[in-house]
Amino acid sequence: MKNKGLLLCLCLVQTLFGQVDSVMNNYFSAGYNDIEYTIEDFISEGNEETDCSDLMEKMIDYATHRININHPDYEALAEIGVSDWQLYNLQKYLSLYGTIYSWGELALIPGWSEAVVRKYMPFMELAPVLEEDKQSWKPVWKQGKHNLLLRYGQVLEPQAGYMSNGQRQTYEGKVPNYMFKYIFKSKDKLQLGLTAEKDAGEPFFKGKNKAGFDYYSMHFFVRNIKCFKSVALGSYRLSFGQGLSMNKDLMYGKPQNSVNLYRQNRLLKPHSSSNECNYLHGVATVIDCKVMDLLLFYSFCYRDAAIKEDSVSGAYITSLQQTGYHRTSSEIAGKNSVQEQMAGMYININKNVVHIGAGCYYSRYSLPLQGGTALYNTYNFSGKWNVNASIDYKILWRRTSWYGEVAMSANKGMATLHGLCFNLHPKLSFAVLYRYYSPHYQSLHAGAFGERSNNANEQGIYIGINAILSKRVTCNAFVDYFIFPWLTYRVDAPSDGWSAKLQFDYEVNRNCSMYLKVKYKTKALNYDTNGYNEIYHYNKQHYQFQCLWQPSAFLQLKTKIEVVNYQLRPQEKYHQGYWISEDVKWHIQRWNLALSARFALFDTYSYNERISVYEDDILYAFSVPTLYNKGCRMYLMLHYQPCKVMHIWCKIAQTYYRNMQNISSGLSEIKGQHKTDIKLQLQFKW
């Protein structure tokens, strides 16, 4: 369930608390909820180790450099969650009537209600269109802004991996993690930067990291130079079609807006986050060929891998590593151990209400990859090289949007996805999406809609609905039924399952809102019975309630309650997990100080009822702790701006377990009942 359109309807300041100047000045704007919910859902599905920093950085960037509605970047609007129908009506309105002078005027455009405008207002502005904005490129160096970031963080309690033990492997480095980031950006035309990071436990200026940090990433990105719409050197990310063939953007779970399934991201963008895996490195460009856009790219980079060698096959890759950790001798041995080369192209044709795209790329590794000996790995990619090709389309007709993609890999495995979004009424819309991903389809760089992360061995149909029941009440719901034609991990037979969500949002007034969400999932799982595996369908239910209240312009309170019910087999009873939390945000404008705090209690029967809840974090970071057993979680974060060019963040968070004497296991084990994290960060902007 890793993949799903960047559904960023973003409605809550929590997500970007104190993240940028513009947000701090409008601290309690009505924005940012959906990204919080979407990440929570994604993490709760077993993706606890996934790095979501790309997503956070993207949203911070749009909040800082707002999109001018009168000269809009339609790709950017799509990335923050604006639907293709809303984009079409906006484009039509601008071509007929020209400049939009007020937010009220924007709200009168079909599909753009007052609520929609409030939702996206933190990322948009109404500014006049100047001639130099259209054609001049020379002033970008003078208008550019510098951004320097320094970060420090660590777990305060001693962990087993840092204690010398002759009987087992330990971490090669010390406890703290460091990050350095520098970015120079001028509007949306030029960006260059350097990112360096050392995770906790990785060597620093010693061992294999004699150059200091464990991870370095550099990028240079320009837009709109004659016929070149964009050019990228260094680290970059690609995404085309619906992601069946190529998607280096992170996609998250089932969408918060149940009908906005069509994904439309930029073809090419720079990679500047601390995510060490989900990017390409080399050169890429998008060329404006009048009737179409042509993307060309080449990438050469090193990947982490686990490598084995035997007398028959020689050296081969058993798995590609995605964690980015290089702490122990075995993790360090796998660092940059495989060369990956990729080259390809993508053609994008947009003609009024019709879009057609076609792409193809070749990828090759320096060592062969073997897909594993377990039966469920039978159809996994094996070998040194692969070719992926796809065709995608979108057609807008009246109030209906049709879209889809068909992809093929070198072994002739097929994958296809087709969707429909129908706006029956300004207050009612529904969506249907069908996908079929053959067990034979192979792509290591896919990221389309799906229950599984590799877009293979899956068939399903999704139905979603979005209804505005009254001026203050909105309903979102979906049902998704899926089938796995071949075996999957921990399921020794073909299987099926389904998931559903029903959510009601109630806006009491402009200062108070609440929602009630119910989620349900049933999915097959092996169950050991007398030495052999029987297959049962587990049932999992989530109930969430949240109330957000802003009693004043500088104070915000949030109460959240969550209940999880889990049933492993039909014969067994449901086990439960509970969470209740209170968040406080206080912006002391006189001192340029913002405070954010939380106190939460949780109680779960086991790990199966674990609960993941989003919490505020420092700039360009995210935090969604996954908690189980019995205890409490609390944190305090300060954001202080002592002068115009300087920002300071400080966060301390602690989890206390009432019924545990040891936290975690292996090298991460802590002897005790609490775990404390601290983070310090400095930002200089000039």
DSSP bridge partners of 316 = 308
Segment 645-657, tens digit of pLDDT: 999 999 999 999 9
**3-state SS, one letter per residue, for 446-477:** CCCCECCCCCCCEEEEEEEEEEECCCCEEEEE
CATH of the domain at 295: 2.40.170
Determine the pLDDT at residue 125. Answer: 87
CA distance 564 to 606: 11
Q: Is 540 within a domain? A: yes
- Which residue range(s) make up the domain with 457? 13-133+146-685
Question: How does DSSP assign 336-403, residue by residue?
Answer: T-EEEEEEEEEEEEEETTEEEEEEEEEEEEEEEE---SSGGGTTS--EEEEEEEEEEEEEEETTEEEE
Dihedral class, residue 398 (left if φ above 0, else alpha if ψ from -120 to 50, else beta): left
Determine the pLDDT at residue 51. Answer: 58
Q: Is 5 within a domain? A: no
Q: Is 141 within a domain? A: no
Nearest to 123 by CA among 266, 10, 272: 10
Q: What are phi and psi of 217, to 5 degrees?
A: -145, 130
CA distance 683 to 200: 21
Q: Which amino acid is at 44?
A: S
In the numeric block, which tokens belong to residue 81?
């969650």
Give the DSSP H/E element, type plus range, for residue 55: helix 53-64
In the numeric block, which tokens belong to residue 73?
């970047």
Q: Is 138 within a domain? A: no
Domain count, the chain: 1
CA distance 55 to 104: 30
Neighbours of 226 (CB within 10 A): 8
Segment 483-521, tens digit of pLDDT: 999 999 999 999 999 999 999 999 898 889 999 999 999
Determine the pLDDT at residue 518. Answer: 96
Alpha carbon 275 to its chain centroid, in Å, reads 11
Nearest to 390 by CA among 325, 455, 341, 450: 455
Determine the pLDDT at residue 11. Answer: 33
CA distance 363 to 375: 26
Q: Is 198 within a domain? A: yes
In the numeric block, which tokens belong to residue 54?
């790309």
CA distance 382 to 369: 5
CA distance 650 to 641: 12
Q: Is 437 within a domain? A: yes
Give the DSSP H/E element, type plus range, for residue 91: helix 84-97
Residue identified by tokens 């079609």 is: 241
Quick check: helix, strand or coil at residue 416? strand
Rounded mean pLDDT for each run of 10 residues along the chain, 686 residues in total = 33 33 40 58 57 67 82 83 84 89 88 81 82 58 87 94 73 92 88 94 90 94 90 94 88 72 86 88 94 95 92 87 90 93 95 91 95 88 95 90 96 96 88 96 93 92 94 93 95 95 91 93 90 89 94 91 93 93 92 94 94 87 88 96 94 95 90 95 94
Note whether 484 and 458 are within 8 A (CB): yes
CA distance 644 to 648: 12
Q: Is 545 within a domain? A: yes
The residues near 552 (Cβ < 8 Å, ≥ 6 apart) are: none
CA distance 464 to 443: 27
- Residue ranges with strand state E in 60-176: 67-68, 124-125, 145-155
Q: Is 1 within a domain? A: no
CA distance 151 to 602: 30
